[in-house]
Amino acid sequence: MLKLKIVYMCELLFDKSCYVPTSIVERCGRPCSLSPLMLDAGEELADGNRLCALTGMLYRPGLGKGGITAETCGARVDVYAALGIADASAQVARMACFSCLSLLMDFNPSNFGAIRKIDSNKWRAAPIFDYDGALGFPFNGFPIANMCENPLLFELLCANRFSFLNPSWDWSWYDPLALVGFEDRIVEALAPCQSLPSGFAELIARAFVMQRDYVNKVARGEAS
């Protein structure tokens, strides 16, 4: 049910060219969380590692790390721009916005990519994929139960960790009203999970509201 809510959040935020419902498929003999619907006939997907090699940015600081930072996002804008993707800034803003709203820290080079039209060698940004950890608990070093008992600490950690958005990116695609009330859907999805500590659903929903307010400020150019 939570996965359906995440897909619905994507539907509210983006048009369908910018995300795909994920499933487990096999690439090069290994399971991978993306969708066969991502590619049209005569196209191939290159993940971030290959893109960095193609653009001469393989060893650029920050690109090889799993965490999401302003430096990582800026480097991805440069990678997309080097491939000739005209809306590079907007594409990275979408990915970063989704990570920020869904508390998704897994942002390693295998989790983004670009798609090449083989006959023309023209590139486009790949839709958002591999987001299985979205709307979960982002801080593995902290017991979930302790955070539920100390929600202010959790909110401070989120505010510090997910504060990497850049107002100079292209935010023309963003609708600040798209996710009004979505926190209720988060609670609806998480509350029935009996294995989670009491208050977890409400904790994630509060963090989402806080992050949504932050994204709105960035999109208006009011946050640095």
Provide DSSP, 141-198. Answer: TS-HHHHHH-HHHHHHHHHHHT----TTS--TT--TTTTTTHHHHHHHHHTT-TTSPT
**Rounded to whole angstroms, how far apart are CA atoms 15 and 120?**
25
DSSP state of 202: H
Is residue 224, in this structure, part of any structural domain at all? no
pLDDT value of position 60: 65
Is residue 152, in this structure, part of any structural domain at all? yes
Read off the pLDDT of residues 171-180 as tens digits, 9 standing for 90 and up: 999 999 999 9
Phi, psi of 122 (to 5 degrees): -95, 135
pLDDT value of position 213: 96
Is residue 127, in this structure, part of any structural domain at all? yes
pTM of the model: 0.84
Residues spanned by the domain of 103: 2-219
Asked whether residue 170 carries a pLDDT value surpassing 80, the answer given is yes
Read off the pLDDT of residues 131-159 as tens digits, 9 standing for 90 and up: 777 888 888 778 888 889 999 999 999 98
Read off the pLDDT of residues 70-86 as tens digits, 9 standing for 90 and up: 888 888 899 999 999 98
Number of structural domains, the chain?
Answer: 1
CATH code of the domain containing 11: 1.10.1070
Phi, psi of 175 (to 5 degrees): -110, 110
CB 213 within 8 A of CB 177: no
How many residues are recorded in the chain? 224
CA nearest neighbour of 130 among 43, 45, 42: 45
Return the SS3 of 33: strand
Is residue 110, in this structure, part of any structural domain at all? yes
